[in-house]
Chain A
Amino acid sequence: MSTKDLVRMANQIAVNQAHLPDDQAADIVASHLTMFWAPSMRNELVTAVDAGEADLNEVALRAVRQLQPA
């Protein structure tokens, strides 16, 4: 899948939690990605983050770093 699309979607989820403290928001985003994203999508995003290719906002980045390898 396109990293750009995955980043866009992850950032959008995070922006919708922006009213919450960052830690709480990141937990919610990580949970959302686990509950609703296919493992292949999560893996690609993690790989992109590890490679420094994902332009994620702060909350989304913290969330992706919480994800367990699927």
Chain B
Amino acid sequence: MTLLHEPTGQVAPDLGTPAMPGEPTVEVEIDGVAVAVPEGTSIMRAAAEAGIDVPKLCATDSLKSFGSCRVCLVEIEGRPGAPASCTTPVAPGMKVATTSPKVDKLRQGVVELYLSDHPADSCTAGACELHAMAETVGLSDVRYGQEGHNHLNIEVDASNPYFTFDPKACIVCSRCVRACDEIQGTLALTVEGRGFESLISASGTSFMESECVSCGACVQACPTTALQEKSIIELGMPTRTVKTTCAYCGVGCSFDAEMRGDELVRMTPSKEGGANEGHSCVKGRFAWGYATHRERITVPMVRESITDEWREVSWDEAISFTARRFTELQQQYGPDSIGGITSSRCTNEEVFVVQKMVRAAFGNNNVDTCARVCHSPTGYGLKQTFGTSAGTQDFKSVEDADVILLIGANPTDAHPVFGSRMKQRLRAGAELIVIDPRRIDLVRTPHIEASHHLQLLPGTNVAIVNALAHVVVTEGLVDREFVAARCEDDSFAEWEAFIARPENSPEAMEAATGVPASEIRAAARLYASVPNAAIYYGLGVTEHSQGSTMVMGMANLAMATGNIGRDGVGVNPLRGQNNVQGSCDMGSFPHEFSGYRHVSDDTVRVLFEDVWGREMRADPGLRIPNMFDAAVAGSFRGLFVQGEDVAQSDPNIGHVTAALTALDLLVVQDLFINETAKFAHVFLPGTSFLEKDGTFTNAERRINRVRPVMDPKTGKDEWQVACDISTAMGYPMGYDDASQIMDEIAQVTPTFAGVSFAHLDEAGSLQWPCNDAAPEGTPIMHVDGFVRGKGNFVQTPYVPTDEKANRKFPLLLTTGRILSQYNVGAQTRRTSNVEWHPEDLLEIHEADAAERGIGDGDWVALNSRVGETHMRARITDRVPQGVVYTTFHHPESGANVVTTENSDWATNCPEYKVTAVQIRPANAVDPLRVSADA
């Protein structure tokens, strides 16, 4: 249901029908007011732009006009009748009357009929447009009783945990059906029956059992209370809003946090949000209850040993305990014996102060971020080829793509709002190539079918991308003009000779990849033959032993075909967490300061030394896996972990927990006692996104404001904690508020030079680079030249992974996410989203299951050479024979117990996507699932 009475804040008005592209060349007069609008604009929208609201029920500006409710009738001079203003386009010189005795009477009659079959008392106060419309059209009385045939005895569907469907309040305007179609693209809803029998239906079943993905688009579109959030029913309508940014995936959706007093009652996606433009998914829209979950820790705690009970202490005691212990470790074991890990779940400002604490107060470069285990190969690969670590496009760019090459990503589950945008483009005619071992939904979904699904064996990405490039080079598909103008001559010539070698041909790679050569050739021709081809990729690219090589291989392919530097093309990483891009931008890697500048660069180091007043180290520090190795070896003794659960998310958990156990001091800053905190000596309570003041940077480099809707439940901003520890260790660090941290980021980071909270508040969001050369940001990168000057082709030989299936471990395990859960599940497991995904399941092909005597739903033991875990099996044809798949959202199943220490050669990003395993039937979950030696 929509928000009728706008609370304080800036909720964008509903202009009735979508904006039309083009210049405002059509001049019309509405109720005597002159207005000019683009050709094709509806009368309703033109009126709204002239400040005149035409009454409406079935129209809303997020959906195409439909013309079913007949409330928006108007009169047009010189034309007969009273046409619907939502479906009638303007014409030059048109004169329109939105009110007249005739249309007023018609509207009253229509609304009266609606009300005659509508409960008078079903609405939360202020939530029903129909009742408001009755007032607007001046209807004071309904002449028809409700004794006749009506819909007032139909049961409410309350099966969905977040919203109800009450058919009694439904006016069958189809806004929900159209939202599911036009915005979400799932088509879970329909109108069943004809005439008076027409009813909205989740395809004949309950919402919970239907194909509905709970994105909330239908609820938002509903003009009555037929579809309504349970939170609104329980808590009432909001009284004010605060604009902020979702803290789940890397899409970075803008939301209006709707408050009733100090209580959050609803999150609605903002139409003006650059990333999401009014859409949302089940996580951002509904799964925010974890922020006030009973298991949330809000008081600092310490303990001498991890076998002791936690002891609640004051912030002062926790800070002084932490600082003293870190200082003692450095005195005893040397300055490099401690370090820190920053989190992609935290704001840019929080991340910046933690890496500053490490570099300035700890005095070393032992800082890394959780992007190490997801997109660090993106940083390496795109910097080598293009010159900086960033996706090249904004999300909107996909609307101009003719071919979408989707590699190792599952956007409808992991980046659902962008997935919906991609689906709309595919339904409009773009072709799709999917490269994935698993049949993701986009391969075949309503109105969409991939032209090619290259269902490769896990670990053979580079073989495929080389084979695609081989076809481009040997079949004359190179964009010679682009390459000559934009790329290095020498590197291209060397790469061209390399990639044309027979060993890179689709035929030569067929045995390794399992993909027929003819399919690869056809896909390459399709990618290279259209005006605009765009690559989108995810962790199925990066989390491999050749993750960085694959990123460079994709960049080579895009450059060779001229698919860089304009709308509709590019190389686009879909970032996993909300602030992966930002945490990397902020200097979280041990070899780089903010803005991706190496610590060995004397000029850059001097800049930081001048601003920070401390000498900076010129050598890189330890990466996360190096920290764990050094901890086990005894040279690394203390670790600060900000908002990260390495004991669940990182590979080979047996080794990780051995490292954590070996530490003398582990400090964890988080919302909950997570798996990592079980090994901690200090627990510093963190703040949820609802309490944070700062910024997140999404996958399209869009810097969005995160605004607090409530005070920190911990009594302290999260950035303040790192400042206090730093100060207690002898390096004073302090800011009056988070905006001052961003000012410092802008001071030391050229790509952020034009960014400030004031500028963000004015612009809504900014895409870096944002500086004197691009004062309002940069939606598309490398337009006139690459960041590094000329594009660099890098040779990308295919090197098979060491992780091979064999007789003992004959299956290859690959991992991923599901729509309703998020990463290690710390947030989503503490919401009703568990109703969709209460446990991780092992997807297995029917033949592999039959060979092992495994039935659907059976418990199985999953073994690799490093560990064993137990979960239930799901028999499916989504995975091919020889490949199994699971998610990693639940600590009880612990998928990462079995993943190995193998990693990307360039970045040490773990090879999560390839683990040789064996499976056998088991009785139930083994509570002591870790069987490996650390």
B907 partner residues in chain A, CB cutoff 8 A: 36
Q: Verify if B562 is at the interface (C-beta below 8 Å from A).
A: no
Docked complex: A11-49 residues within 8 A CB-CB of B: 12-13, 15-16, 18-20, 32, 35-41
Interface residues of A (CB under 8 A from B): 1-2, 5, 9, 12-13, 15-16, 18-20, 32, 35-41, 70
Report A35 CB to chain B, min CB distance, Å: 6
Nearest CB in chain B to that of A37: its residue: B620
B residues less than 8 Å from A39 (CB atoms) = 619
Tell me, yes or no, whether B901 is within 8 Å of chain A by CB: yes
Besides A19-B498, A36-B906, 14 new A-B residue pairs in contact (Cβ under 8 A), listed by A number? A1-B626, A1-B629, A9-B905, A13-B905, A13-B906, A16-B799, A20-B795, A35-B591, A36-B907, A37-B620, A38-B336, A38-B626, A39-B619, A41-B626
Report the minimum CB–CB distance from A52 to chain B (whole Å): 20
A–B Cβ pairs within 8 angstroms, 20 of them = A1-B626, A1-B629, A1-B633, A1-B635, A2-B629, A2-B632, A5-B901, A12-B545, A15-B905, A16-B905, A18-B797, A18-B799, A19-B498, A20-B795, A35-B591, A36-B591, A36-B906, A38-B365, A38-B619, A40-B630
Complex: A16 Cα to B336 Cα, angstroms: 30
Q: A54 to B336: give the CA distance in the assembly, Å.
A: 24
Q: Is B42 an interface residue (CB 8 A)?
A: no
Interface range on chain B (Cβ under 8 Å from partner): 20 to 34
Cα–Cα distance between A38 and B629 once the two chains are bound (Å): 13
B389 within 8 A of A: no
| Cα separation A1 to B634 with both chains bound (whole Å) | 8
Separation of A35 and B365 alpha carbons in the complex (Å): 13
Q: Which residue of B lies closest to A16 (CB)?
A: B905
Task: Tell me the bound Cα distance from A36 to B498 in angstroms.
Answer: 27
Which listed residue, B590, B622, B799, touches A15 by the CB 8 Å rule? B799
Contact status B906-A19, CB under 8 Å? no
Option from B622, B626, B795 in Cβ contact (under 8 Å) with A19: B795
CB distance from A6 to the nearest CB of B (A): 8
Known A1-B635, A38-B626: A16·B546 in contact at CB below 8 Å: yes
When chains A and B are docked, how far (Å) is the Cα of A8 from the Cα of B122? 68
Name the distance in Å between B6's Cβ and chain A's nearest Cβ: 52
**A1 and B498 within 8 A (CB):** no
Flag if A38 contacts B622 (CB, 8 Å).
yes
Residues from chain A with Cβ under 8 Å of B160 in the complex: none
For A38, the closest partner residue in chain B by CB is B622
**Bound form: Cα–Cα A16–B620 in Å:** 22
Shortest distance from the beta carbon of B332 to any chain A beta carbon, whole Å: 16
Which B residue's beta carbon lies closest to that of A18? B797
Is B908's CB within 8 Å of the partner chain A?
yes
Question: Chain A contacts of B903 at CB under 8 A?
Answer: 9
Chain B residues contacting A15 (CB-CB under 8 Å) are 799, 905
Beta-carbon contact of A9 and B795 below 8 Å: no
Interface string of B591-617 (1 = CB under 8 A from A): 100000010100000000000000000
Partner among A5, A20, A32, A70 whose Cβ is within 8 Å of the Cβ of B906: A32
Docked complex Cα distance between A70 and B620 (Å): 11
User: Could you tell me if A70 and B619 are in contact, using CB atoms closer than 8 angstroms?
Assistant: yes
> Contact between A5 and B629 (Cβ–Cβ < 8 Å)?
yes
Contacting residues of chain B (329-348) with chain A, CB-CB under 8 angstroms: 336
- A41 CB to nearest chain B CB (Å): 6
Give the 5 A-B residue pairs with the shortest CB-CB distance, closest first.
A19-B797, A12-B905, A1-B629, A16-B905, A39-B619
From B549, B590, B622, B630, A16 is in contact (CB under 8 Å) with B549
Q: A6: nearest residue on chain B (CB-CB)?
A: B629
B550 to chain A, nearest CB (A): 12
Chain A residues with CB under 8 Å of B797's CB are: 16, 18-19
Which residue of chain A has the shortest Cβ distance to B625 in the bound complex? A5
